[in-house]
Structure 1
Amino acid sequence: MIWGLLLLCVAGAFRAIHAVPLRKTSKIEVKAAPQEEVNVLMFGVIQFSESLNYAFENTEAKIDKLSKTVTTREGALQQLEKQTEEAVEVEKQMKEVIQLLQAQMVNQQAQTMMTKDWLARMEQEEVELKTKVKRMETYINNAFPSSIKELQEKAEEHSSVLKILQHFTEFQKQNIETNDEKLSTLQKMSDDMS
């Protein structure tokens, strides 16, 4: 292609050199261009063809480079699309986990409330039982001084039962505090994910 363009330019240059305007005389004068002008013209044509060749090669290299860049960008775009699809899937899974955590939190809160109510009743019953035991001890001490030993043994049994109930109550309190901490942690996780 470049050589065809070069030949076309050279042919054009020769026509320009040999095309001399005709004078309106009866004689036709043909003057050949001096050799120096032909040389300058040929040098210009050669330089022009070299410039065209350089521009062609440069443009071809740039097109190759652009083609490679486009191919690379297409690969990166496909990778980005894949990552976007994965991110959407992860987001969907996270929403499902959040919903599950929220459901667990609701259940945990309900259990905690039930346990707190039960514990409050147990504490109330413990106080009432202690009061009854003290009244019984007083009544027994006043009414049946002969069987005080038996009554003391029963009172000790009641006291040991009360101690067991106290330990159980403490255990339930700790359990409730642990559940409250878990609920707070779950709620923070849920708030952070929202």
Structure 2
Amino acid sequence: MQAALCVLWMALCACGVSSSPLRSVQAGENVNMASADDVNILMYGVLQFTESLHHMYQSTEARLARLMKAVSRTESEVKRLGHDTEEAAQNERQIKEKLQLLQAQMKALEIQVHENRDTVTRVELEEAQLKKKLSSLEENLNSSVPDKIKGAPLKNNSNLKDLMKWTQEQKLKLENQNRQLADLQKRNMV
């Protein structure tokens, strides 16, 4: 652009154009008029110059439009990434809360399993003691009681069977809780 201005100025200087053409004409000086070819060349140069300015303006405008689109896309990507980051942080908080809840539940189940084991062990010991007492009572009863009273051990046997059935149910409950605890521990490790 500067080069085109310099060329235009040099052309004007070479043709002898004064800075004030009216003064020179009024003073009656001998003015050399530029030839039509010189004027045409100068006008062609001016047209070339304006075309290049216009082209430069359009290309700059197109570049600026592309740049604004790129900035807009970048801003939307930054907003989307910010939203994704917030969402990921929220998901992480939820996962941590659920993990803490699972750990608390697992501890509660472990405590319950230990309590149930103690209960089952105590019941098994009581059952063994009752069996010993019952067998010794049966022996004593068989040896000392007449035939009419011998029906009582059958009733005791029935009670013993009920107690054994209850003990078996407690064992099944304990095994079920152990399985649940193992499943929770596996999930927690994953």
User: What's the TM-score, normalizing by structure 1?
Assistant: 0.70
CA gap of 1:169–1:16, structure 2 versus 1, over 3 A, is farther
For the 8 Å contact 1:119–1:169, the answer to whether it is kept is yes
Q: What is the 5 A alignment of 1:27-176? A: 50-144=51-145, 146-147=146-147, 149-151=148-150, 153-176=151-174
Deviation at 1:110, TM superposition (A): 0.8
Does the 8 Å contact 1:10/1:42 carry over to 2?
A: no
Between 1:135-144 and 1:54-63, the stretch displaced more is 54-63
Partner secondary structure for residue 58 of structure 1:
helix
TM-score norm. by structure 2 comes to: 0.71
1:160 positional shift = 2.0
What RMSD, in angstroms, separates the aligned Cα atoms of the two structures?
3.5
C-alpha change, 1:174 and 1:59, in structure 2 (3 Å) is farther
Counterpart residue number, 2:15: 18
Structure-2 change in CA distance of 1:45 and 1:155 (3 Å): farther
- State the distance in 2 between where 1:150 and 1:55 align: 125
Other-structure match for 1:188: 186
% identity of equivalent residues: 35
Alpha-carbon separation, structure 1, partners of 2:70 and 2:158: 85
Corresponding pairs, count: 173
Name the CA distance, whole Å, in 2 between partners of 1:53 and 1:187.
Answer: 75
In 2, Cα distance between the equivalents of 1:154 and 1:13? 140
Using the alignment, how far apart are the partners of 1:114 and 1:51 within structure 2? 93
Structure 1 contact 6–49 (Cα < 8 Å) conserved: no
